[in-house]
Copies of this chain bind each other. A is one copy, B any other.
């Protein structure tokens, strides 16, 4: 145990949740607490060629950032390179000038690109860095032709050769056997980077150490992509009680508390969808997107993952939505409280309009419109089929048609059996390229297909400035973008109920009745 090194990569791996921007006070508190903890390396972020989207401070780690870290921290500093983004020619501009700021350069390696990564390692070693390989997808290495035979190329170039449990699905027995196998091939030190989908981060890491690994990763509160990592506080507490590692629990308590508000906001950690993806070795990227958005139920995500796991892309194909008639006006009803608060007025107004139909973006408020004698279309995205079922105590008679996103639907398809014959799918989404499967996209595209000239909204309340959860803000921003995309070619959107969306026009429903 004495020779095992510990690397904390909270800022680098946690950045997946914050887009690599962190509050300065948090970083300061993090660095200061880490000074008192038995950590050997802090991985501060990535170094990366420029990408055409906004990525924050710790994705690029400019020199000024590293200098500021050096001033506070006496720990060895690491950065990560994504091999897929970095060519040999990039090395000099990215890392040619900062051996005084960076101690260890890690390279995230896809095992199929092993040869390219070795070339990078040679360049980095020549520059004078310590070099680590974080080789991903360890559960699939045995499927990569000749993977184990080429490993000896790292000797003399790579200081630490990491096994990365990318899917979070390996078990201790796998770890033991792969560490042993790797150690028989190379003389670099072996490392382990575990994920926590199955809550096996700790036991896999302990097993790796027992099998001879000499460096292991963890992050504060397990902050990291998807289900996250082994929790540093768990690792240190365990090593303290099991092997007498000296741990300053005041410092540990401080840094764990410091990340509390961020976890409340972003809610990383494992849950059923991540467990299913881990257990079946499915990539977490999709899952993280689905879980972060509120409108997919755990149910529909798990269903989608089971489809992936079984190799089923989608299970049902419906006829194309091609409406027999068009409507002058469409009222789109969202899931916000204003569509129930003002339901009486909205019903009164809608019933008087001669050429109007209803599009339910969400089924949440459907029950308030059951008695309205208008054509009513339901957007079935994510879990809406189940929700509609739960809502419709009175039956489905008021449903004219159900509209589904274009085939194939990643999240699978659920339509209540009684509505199968009334269900149709869109052929395309034409007004935006950003998102395909949100309630709002589906509702707006449906309005286009229905030929509407006047499009009204209700129950699109927007989120108040003090929304606690990041996902609410993101969904509000996404809707705002969709409204703007839509209005470029398809005219004004008018909200009949109070709304915080700035792009919407407003006319009170009470002014119209």
Contacts and interface: CB of A to CB of B under 8 A. Distances in A.
B253 A272 contact: yes
A249 interface: yes
A242 B170 CA distance: 11
B199 A201 contact: yes
Interface string A438-459: 0000000000000000000000
Interface stretch (A12-20, A54-62, A295-303, A420-428): A295-303
Contacts of A172: 172, 203
Contacts of A271: 256
A198 interface: yes
Given A203-B203, A299-B253, A275 B198 contact: no
Contacts of A253: 272, 297-299, 301-303
Contacts of A250: 299, 302-303
Contacts of A234: 198-199, 270, 275
B279 A237 contact: yes
A303 B306 CA distance: 45
A512 interface: no
A276 interface: yes
A233 interface: yes
A233 to B, nearest CB: 5
A323 B257 CA distance: 36
A202 interface: yes
Interface in A236-293: 237-238, 240-242, 249-250, 252-254, 256-257, 270-272, 275-276, 279-280
A413 interface: no
A231 to B, nearest CB: 8
Interface string A366-409: 00000000000000000000000000000000000000000000
A419 B118 CA distance: 59
Contacts of A475: none
Given A298-B256, A302-B252, A275 B237 contact: yes
B203 A240 contact: no
Given A257-B298, A272-B237, A306 B202 contact: no
B241 A279 contact: yes
Interface string A217-245: 00000000000000101100110111000
Contact of A272 (B169, B201, B233, B297): B233
A363 interface: no
A120 B334 CA distance: 60
A10 interface: no
A200 interface: yes
Nearest to A234: B275
Interface in A205-222: 206
A240 B276 CA distance: 9
A275 B299 CA distance: 31
Nearest to A309: B241
Interface in A123-157: none
A241 B200 CA distance: 15
A277 to B, nearest CB: 10
A416 B169 CA distance: 47
Contacts of A280: 241
A477 to B, nearest CB: 24
A298 to B, nearest CB: 5
A399 to B, nearest CB: 22
A257 to B, nearest CB: 5
A513 to B, nearest CB: 33
A270 to B, nearest CB: 8
B302 A249 contact: yes
A306 B237 contact: no
Nearest to A230: B199
A196 interface: yes
Contacts of A240: 279
Contacts of A200: 202-203
A250 B383 CA distance: 11
Contacts of A299: 249-250, 253-254, 257
A316 to B, nearest CB: 15
B257 A297 contact: yes
A272 B275 CA distance: 22
Interface string A18-39: 0000000000000000000000
Interface in A429-474: none
Nearest 4 Cβ contacts at the A-B interface: A253-B299, A241-B279, A199-B199, A237-B275
10 contacts: A169-B241, A198-B238, A203-B203, A234-B270, A238-B275, A241-B280, A250-B299, A250-B303, A253-B302, A254-B299
